[in-house]
């Protein structure tokens, strides 16, 4: 059995810590991020089903084609209102001030999806599972 502490293995090497002597600061911490995955991300079966489930007027088809990773994440979050709303908020609001933004077609799809989800969420909250038992 090794005498080294498990937590020591989890620490970043000194040269990779932001603000250390290598000149990396918190402002340019992005330089330390992992490189993007070279393999293209495919639209998941869940995301395909989710897109087809949505009314045709709000289907994020361009999003699925151009940004399958994002469509996959939204499909996974669909049944979890707080998670879904948080993901949409991250996508539609630039909190960092340096985002490029989506192409118009995708931005419109996200805005339509947000409006639709708000409508569906309001309807869900008006009709709970208990409503059928009270009548």
Is the C-alpha dihedral spanning 13, 16, 18, 20 positive or negative? positive
Virtual torsion, Cα 73, 79, 80, 86, nearest 10 deg = 50
**Residue 2 clears pLDDT 70, i.e. is over it:** no
As a whole number of angstroms, the distance between CA 51 and CA 68 comes to: 11
Residues 17-40 have a mean pLDDT of 60
Q: How many Å apart are CA 121 and CA 81, to the nearest integer?
A: 8
Q: Each residue of 48-98: pLDDT tens digit?
A: 999 999 999 999 999 999 999 999 999 999 999 899 999 999 888 877 666
**What pLDDT score does 13 carry?**
47
Across residues 31-41, what is the average pLDDT? 68
DSSP letters for 28-93: TGGGGSPPPPSSPPPPPHHHHHHHHHS-GGG--HHHHHH-HHHHHHHHHHTT-HHHHHHHHHHHH-
For residues 64 and 102, give the distance between their C-alpha atoms in angstroms, rounded to a whole number. Answer: 13
CA distance 52 to 60: 9
């Amino acid at each position: 059995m090794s005498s080294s502490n498990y937590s020591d293995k989890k620490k970043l090497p000194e040269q990779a810590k932001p603000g250390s002597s290598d000149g990396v600061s918190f402002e340019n911490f992005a330089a330390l991020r992992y490189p993007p995955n070279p393999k293209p991300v495919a639209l998941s079966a869940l995301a395909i089903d989710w897109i087809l489930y949505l009314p045709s007027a709000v289907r994020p088809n361009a999003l699925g084609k151009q940004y399958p990773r994002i469509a996959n994440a939204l499909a996974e979050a669909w049944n979890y209102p707080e998670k879904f709303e948080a993901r949409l908020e991250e996508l539609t609001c630039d909190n960092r001030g340096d985002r490029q933004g989506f192409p118009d077609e995708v931005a419109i799809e996200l805005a339509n999806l947000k409006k639709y989800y708000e409508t569906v969420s309001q309807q869900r909250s008006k009709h709970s599972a208990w409503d059928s038992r009270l009548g």
